[in-house]
Amino acid sequence: MAHGTPTGLAVEQIWRYPVKSMGGERLSSAAVRELGIDGDRRWGVVDVATGRVLTGRRQPELLMARARHLGPGEVAITLPDGTTPTSDDDLSDWLGRRVALVASEGGDAAPDFEVPNPDEEDWQAHGAAEGAWHDSARTRLSLVSRATIGDWDPRRFRSNLLLSGGGEDALVGADLLVGTATLTVSKQVVRCVMVTRPQPDLAADRDVLRTILRERGGALAIGALVTTPGLIAEGAEVLVA
């Protein structure tokens, strides 16, 4: 049994997002390893002409699709019309440009993101997020609380762990015990226009980013590195090691 100082936070929901910028899947428990939740951000849709990974900032259609992790090297995508693409040609027809679904590890070269990363200094100082396409090399798992998001739908923010309670911003720099995993909270997560985009059952809302900028300096959620792999399940307490 893990021992630590209670934070008043607990895991309410666990989410995995297999394809960069697509919707994901809710899990009752998840294996967490060095790169984060198994299967999380392990694929990206790459523009063939530029070799860059597309995200919802420039290709908002991605936010309307969803993906499921089927196992090592396997992913299933569902498009907004309910169909399942079976080839890069299908994805290209949907997006109106030549694209390819590419794994984040095991390729000959890692594609770039389609715009300069907003956390560019993080990438220079800590190395690119090889093996999983998170937005920062200092984030392999993101956490946000109910108190922080208030009435906003948690799906807007694509965090891996939705926590009951509040006060997670004060945990930056702390080592956390969650389930059998140990996480080191490295930073707050800076938000971009993606949180305002429409998603399935969610309308566009520009006030989301305006409010985050005005009331929270642009940051919402915390990012963590995995220092000890383990298993996290819904209901797990968040403890300070």
Q: How many CB atoms lie within 10 A of CB 168?
A: 23
Q: Is residue 2 part of a domain?
A: no
Q: What angle do CA 202, 203, 204 make, to 5 degrees?
A: 125
Q: What 3 state SS string does 84-134 have?
A: CCCCHHHHHHHHCCCEEEEECCCCCCCCEECCCCCCHHHHHHHCCCCCCCC
Q: What is the pLDDT of residue 114?
A: 56
- The CATH code of the domain that includes 198 is 2.40.33.20
Q: Token digits for 143?
A: 């956490």
Domain count, the chain: 1
DSSP 208-236: HHHHHHHHHTTEEEEEEEEEE-EEEETTP
Domain span at 54: 9-240
Q: What is the pLDDT of residue 113?
A: 58
Q: Is residue 67 part of a domain?
A: yes
Q: What is the pLDDT of residue 1?
A: 52
pLDDT (tens, 9 = 90+) of the chain, 241 residues, equals 568 999 999 999 999 999 999 999 999 999 999 999 999 999 999 999 988 889 998 899 999 999 999 998 899 999 999 999 999 999 999 999 999 999 987 655 456 655 444 444 444 333 345 678 888 888 999 999 999 999 999 999 999 999 999 999 999 999 999 999 999 999 999 999 999 999 999 999 999 999 999 999 999 999 999 999 999 999 999 999 9
Q: What is the pLDDT of residue 131?
A: 79
Q: What is the pLDDT of residue 202?
A: 95
Q: What is the pLDDT of residue 112?
A: 64
Q: What is the pLDDT of residue 52?
A: 87
Q: Is residue 174 part of a domain?
A: yes
Q: How many Å apart are CA 225 and CA 184, to the nearest integer? A: 5
Q: Is residue 26 part of a domain?
A: yes
Per-residue pLDDT tens over the stretch 102-155:
998 765 545 665 544 444 444 433 334 567 888 888 899 999 999 999 999 999
Q: Is residue 3 part of a domain?
A: no
